Amino acid sequence: MSNKQRPVGSPKKFQPLQIFKKYPTISILSVLTLITLAIGVTVWANSTSISLVGGDELVINCDGRGINLDRSSRTDVTVTCREGNGGGTNPTPIPTDEPPAPEPTDVPPTPVPTDEPPAPEPTTVPPTPVPTDEPPAPEPTTPPPPPGGNIDPYIGAPSCEELNIPHNDRDWHGIWDSTYGCHWDHEHKDDPRTADHLFGTEYYDWAGGEISYPWQTFAGANYLMPNPPAANSGLFENDGKHNVYGWRVDFGEEGCTNGDYALSPNCIESFRLQYHGSGNHVGAVTIFHSMFIEAHGQTMANECNNSSIDNPNRCYAAAGGWIDFGRLRMKGMAQNDPASRFFLPGENPLYDTIPVNIRPYRSHPITTIPTGAQTLHSWNSSGNYMVPDYGDPESRVYFGFGFHIDDGWGPFDPDNLSGTGFEHITCGTEADYHVGCEYNSSSAGIFRAYISFPEYFDGSKYDQDNKAGFVTIRGYANRYGDINTYQDANGNWIGNCTAPALDCVPVVAENFPVEEAGYRGNIIQRVPEPGVRTSDMTEYDIYFCGNQVCAETDRDAIPSGWIEFPN
């Protein structure tokens, strides 16, 4: 920096060496003073005030930094060395109340989030999200069912329970479910819906479903009209013995035969029958069971035309309730031998007062008489003939049936009547007793069925037509068949029943012949009797020959192994 005064006298250029020559002492002192000040400024790096006289010169070096000049008056100048490394011309800003913004760098810092954690670094394969509201769907074990269902049975198929298919104890099902491709552990014989074109669908409204009905039996059922247990007691037959409900449908393809008329004055041409019973220990020691039958009747003169559900000459009847299966008879002994009859608590004392040919019975093998594994179980009911009247003596409708099972579970033990039935199962009692076992009550048939409107109904207060030898009745009966509510000829309802119940069992006759109408089927499996219909025994299990479904009688046929006790 230099500070020159206005020249006086000679206009010659100022030359510093002339000062040393003219004023040697003053010049030496000035130089020393300046050196001392420079050293002090360098060491202290402070603000320093310096006063110069005319002709003095001051040199300031800011070590490569820029210099700012600030003139406060005509004679005072402030010299400031800039901070930093730059030698630019812009003045360094004077600091204010707020600190200066940070100098930018090459890469700005990543802002740190405060509300949420930083997002995870992406990977090559993003992680699969983990569901929180619902568990992951299970892996499918079988192909989805096709529309309408047409999956054929196959070895190793899953049970319907494994596929979480709900089981409804009011719905009919066979051993195989073709819609889902799975099997059940029991079956209910024929599908009743296959006969809807013959008998309509009113039954399902009466019963409240396809399996069981409001007039089902319960623990302690007998001929003395016991009171039912509480609804949620678990003591009804559909609670503990649901598996042994069966349907039998006969379409009447063979027509009436001599065998039908040999036992009854009229014939049951076709029928749909639901029954409760099984070829096992528990069923054998039970006296009363339930049933319901719908039938087309026919006379020996062929006066009925059952070709159409709407035909005015159609002969239709429906009835049901409790039936008595009589005394237990030990298989392997003569039927007339008194020693063959096994007495059970609660039996009707009238059993021995009726002829043998109409006496009800259950013929079942026992442990004390060796009869082999495959022994025919034969149950024959005379229905409600021996039950006392519980109403008008001339109001009872009679009904009953008999069935055969040629592959029953096993014999009953006369010394252990309260047993479960597992004690003497033919195929053993181990956990897989049913695997490969054919003795599972799956081969069954109806050899006898009947329904009777005795002559006293013809022209009675119950009869709505004026046709001799035929009756048209619509009403309700108690569990034993005694009509207690009916519709008169004018369409008025007489009685207390308004809906099906234990003692309000629907009774219907439409142009049905009076006296008994019966069905007679083949007694012995696959060996028809002369003059008797052959549609008796049917196998309801599934058999396999290798991986293919085949008939039970085929060579190397093996049962499915799906049916469990009881059935």
Residues 140-151: tens digit of each pLDDT:
445 455 556 789
Which pLDDT does position 394 carry in this prediction? 95
Residue 44 in this model has a pLDDT that exceeds 60: no
Distance between CA 263 and CA 199 in Å, rounded? 24
Residue 132 in this model has a pLDDT that exceeds 50: no
**Mean pLDDT in the chain?**
79
Task: Kindly report the number of other CB atoms within 10 A of residue 24's CB atom.
Answer: 10
Residue holding tokens 């008008």?
A: 392
Give the C-alpha distances (Å, rounded to integers) separating 246 from 186, 191, 210, 448.
10, 9, 10, 15
Q: What torsion do the CA atoms of 315, 318, 323, 329 make, to the nearest 10 degrees?
A: 40
pLDDT digits (tens, 9 = 90+) for 476-499: 999 999 999 999 999 999 999 999
Residue type, 374: Q
Collapsing DSSP to helix, strand or coil, 409 comes out as coil
Mean local confidence (pLDDT), 210-230:
96
Distance between CA 21 and CA 287 in Å, rounded? 157
Secondary-structure percent of the chain, ordered helix, strand, coil, rounded to 5: 15, 25, 65
Which pLDDT does position 158 carry in this prediction? 96
Looking at the DSSP bridge assignments, the partners of residue 247 are: 189, 274
Task: Kindly report the number of other CB atoms within 10 A of residue 187's CB atom.
Answer: 23
Mean local confidence (pLDDT), 213-218:
98
Maximum distance among all alpha carbons in the chain?
A: 176
Which pLDDT does position 330 carry in this prediction? 81
Looking at the DSSP bridge assignments, the partners of residue 487 are: 493
Which pLDDT does position 8 carry in this prediction? 35
Contact (CB, 8 A) for 501 and 214: yes
Q: Determine what percent of the chain is predicted with pLDDT higher than 90.
A: 48
* Res. 14 pLDDT band, cuts 50 70 90: very low
Q: HSE of 392 in the Cβ direction (CA atoms, 13 Å)?
A: 15
Distance between CA 56 and CA 27 in Å, rounded? 9
Mean local confidence (pLDDT), 108-133:
47
pLDDT digits (tens, 9 = 90+) for 241-250: 999 999 999 9
CA 558 to chain centre: 29
* Res. 359 pLDDT band, cuts 50 70 90: confident
H/E stretch holding 163? none
Which of 450, 513, 466, 449 lies closest to 300 in space, CA to CA?
Answer: 513
Which pLDDT does position 431 carry in this prediction? 74
CA 450 to chain centre: 38
